[in-house]
Structure formats: structure tokens, C-alpha cells
Structure 1
Amino acid sequence: MKNCILILAALISTNVMAKVNSVTSQCGNFTLVAKVGELTTVNGETVTSQKITEIGKNGLRVQMTLMPARDGNMYGFEYIRPDGDSKRRWLNVELIRTNMDQPRIIGSFDCKNTAG
């Protein structure tokens, strides 16, 4: 009985710690989940590359690619949190072209942190 309680307590604490070390942001139709020490997931898919750059003391820029996504397309993401006390965040998304003759498709979405 003590072993069952110990295992249950370990599982609960692991789930609590996983939520503490993650941030979920909703940017338009995109849901970003960032966990400490892991690659970001976008709509449930793990990005294939990620570069994080600090902007000042509190700012952050995260450049990510998803190649290929479930729908067969390739995407480039840029998440921006400016330096300072600003609560403003946004996500720039570009559909990566397979041919230079194709038009560029770029979108920009305001983000808000959600529970998670």
C-alpha cells in the first residue's frame, strides 16, 4: 500500500512540475507549447529547428522551422516578446516556398499566454 501511494505521489509531482516548466501561447490559430530543455511544439507538432535569442534583459526572439508539417508544407515561425515591461507578443509565420517564383505568404498574429 505504501508503494502505491509513493508511486502515485511521484506521478502527480511529475505532472505538476511539467506544467510549471512550460508555457502555452495562443497566436491566432497556432498553439505554441514551450517546455524547458525541449523543442517547442506548434499545434502538437515538434519543430525541426529552433534558435532562441535574447533581446535586452527581458526580451526574447525564437526562430523555428517546421519541415515538413502534417499538411506537407514547410513553415518558418518567429515568436517575438519585446524587451521591457510590455505584455505584447506576436508570432510571424511564413509558408516556405519551394520555388522562388511562388508568391510569399506571411502572416502576423498577436499572442496571449493561456493556462498550461
Structure 2
Amino acid sequence: MTKLRNSVGEQIRAIRKAKGLTQQQLAELSGLDDAYIGSVERGERNFSIDTLEKIIVGLNISFGDLTTLNNEDTSRKDAIVEYIGIISELDSAQVKTLREILNTVKLAFH
């Protein structure tokens, strides 16, 4: 099961970095120790669902945000992680505006 643990840890790290957070900052936001966050990100720690929930809350993301990245290629994965980092800090109106902008840009590629 270390493959899943490593994958989740890598995704946590990618989202944390996309949001511009240090391990210490995420630890404070999630109520965990920064060394613990590091061990989770490296896949060294067999963590509980409760701990995962604390990290997700600390990152201000949904569980779906964490799990949608598994089947994406690297460039798409990087873009999705960056997008998650951006939208998690916006309010609903700003997210709606961003979606409209992205849809307009998408139409330019067709």
C-alpha cells in the first residue's frame, strides 16, 4: 500500500507548494507537527483518515481536489495543482469569473 501513501503524499506536497505554504505553515494550519507533515509528504508515515482530514482542512481544499490528480500526465497534473492553489483562495464570485475567463480562452484554441 505504500504506492497509494506515496501518491497522496506527493499530491499534498504539490498542492502545499502551489499555495506557497511551507511545511511549518501547513502544520500550523492543520494542527500537526511540521516533521509529521514532511513524513506524510515523503510517504514515510502511515496516517489516519482523521489526519488526512486535518491536512485537507489546512490546505483549504476538498478531498476531491486531492484525488483527481491520479490519472493525469505531469503537465496536466502541474496545471491542476496550480489551479487548485489559486481557486482555493478565491470567493465564489471570483471563481465564477475565473471559470468564464478560462472558458473564453478555451474557445480560442478551437
Same fold (TM over 0.5): no
Larger CA Rg, structure 1 vs 2: 1
Normalising TM by the smaller chain, what interval? under 0.3
* Greater percentage in helix: 2
- Higher RCO, 1 vs 2 (CA within 8 Å, ≥6 residues apart): 2
**TM-score of the superposed pair, with normalisation by structure 2:** 0.27
* Greater percentage in strand: 1
